[in-house]
Amino acid sequence: MKALIFDMDGVVVNSVGYWNEIREEIIRDELGVDNVDVEELVGMNADDEYDYLAEDHTLQRSKESYVSLLEDRANEIYRERVSILADYEELLAAARESGFRLGLVSASYRTRVEMVLNRFDLDQYFDAAVAGDDITGPSKPEPAIYEHAVSLLKVEPEEAVTVEDSEHGVTAAKGAGLYCIGYAHHPGQPLEHADETVETETELRERLHEICRTGSV
């Protein structure tokens, strides 16, 4: 293996819970839709979320309005509320010392990815960071975002390991041909199509350190 790629939300920063709270609130109060399972939206970007909801519901606001509302709340989440998961900088440093190329992949918009990279000074570790709006067409669960990431990292898909915590993310990673570790840290996300799963931060760190030491899965 030559590259490690990390999903951002829920894997590098603890943003998923915050996201689900604001999604549910905005969908209920602004779009006029009750009883939506927001877990079904985890891993999508805002445009794809809106299209998904519009398939089964009449929505009270336009897509542009929904995206704008989410963006306003996202600024608060990423600037003030999220934190980086425990010991990630040590892990990233160890991976680089072992010769791995490192990538960050997120269905979120580039502005959010840059907020995380800058706030936690992570751009020193990553060789490439791909956001949902860096690609043409749908983001996760389509594989294009991972295909772009491995291209930037200059590795073949089978030479890369990624960590994902959503069904859409796992589907995207496997569709692009990567080895995928499913991080099952919150309920509601079926990750059975991942190559393996871990449930805790400790298990994830230990598994990734093992891959860094051995160079294989």
pLDDT band at 9 (very low <50, low <70, confident <90, very high): very high
* % the chain with pLDDT above 90: 75
Calculate mean pLDDT across residues 130-143.
92
Which H or E run includes 7? Answer: strand 3-7
**Which tens digits make up the pLDDT trace of 92-130?**
999 999 999 999 999 988 998 999 999 999 999 999 999
C-beta of residue 109 within 8 angstroms of C-beta of residue 71: yes
CA angle 85, 5, 24 (to 5 degrees): 55
Q: Domain containing 158 — which CATH number? A: 3.40.50.1000
Residue 147: the pLDDT is: 98
Among 61, 81, 101, where does a domain finish?
81
141 vs 198: CA distance, rounded Å = 21
Residue 1: the pLDDT is: 97
Calculate mean pLDDT across residues 163-178.
97
CA angle 109, 122, 80 (to 5 degrees): 65
The SS3 call for residue 171 is helix
pTM: 0.85
Helices (H), 123-198: 144-153, 167-175
Q: Which amino acid is at 154?
A: K
Residue 125: the pLDDT is: 97
Examine the pLDDT at 43 and tell me if it is beyond 80: no
Distances in Å between the alpha carbon of 97 and those of 91, 92, 93? 10, 9, 6
Examine the pLDDT at 211 and tell me if it is beyond 80: yes
Do 164 and 115 share a structural domain?
A: yes
Residue 15: the pLDDT is: 87
Residue 210: the pLDDT is: 98
Which H or E run includes 181? Answer: strand 179-183
Do 144 and 111 share a structural domain?
A: yes
Residue 138: the pLDDT is: 86
pLDDT band at 75 (very low <50, low <70, confident <90, very high): confident
Residue 71: the pLDDT is: 85
Among 59, 81, 103, where does a domain finish?
81
pLDDT band at 64 (very low <50, low <70, confident <90, very high): very high
Calculate mean pLDDT across residues 37-45.
83
C-beta of residue 204 within 8 angstroms of C-beta of residue 173: no
Do 143 and 66 share a structural domain?
A: no
Instruction: Give me the chain's average pLDDT, please.
Output: 93
Do 109 and 122 share a structural domain?
A: yes
Number of domains making up the chain: 2
Do 87 and 43 share a structural domain?
A: no
**Which tens digits make up the pLDDT trace of 140-158?**
999 999 999 999 999 999 9
Examine the pLDDT at 169 and tell me if it is beyond 80: yes
Do 154 and 190 share a structural domain?
A: yes
Do 151 and 116 share a structural domain?
A: yes
Q: Which amino acid is at 213?
A: R
CA angle 41, 43, 48 (to 5 degrees): 60
Range of the domain at 165: 3-14+83-214
Examine the pLDDT at 6 and tell me if it is beyond 80: yes
Do 173 and 93 share a structural domain?
A: yes
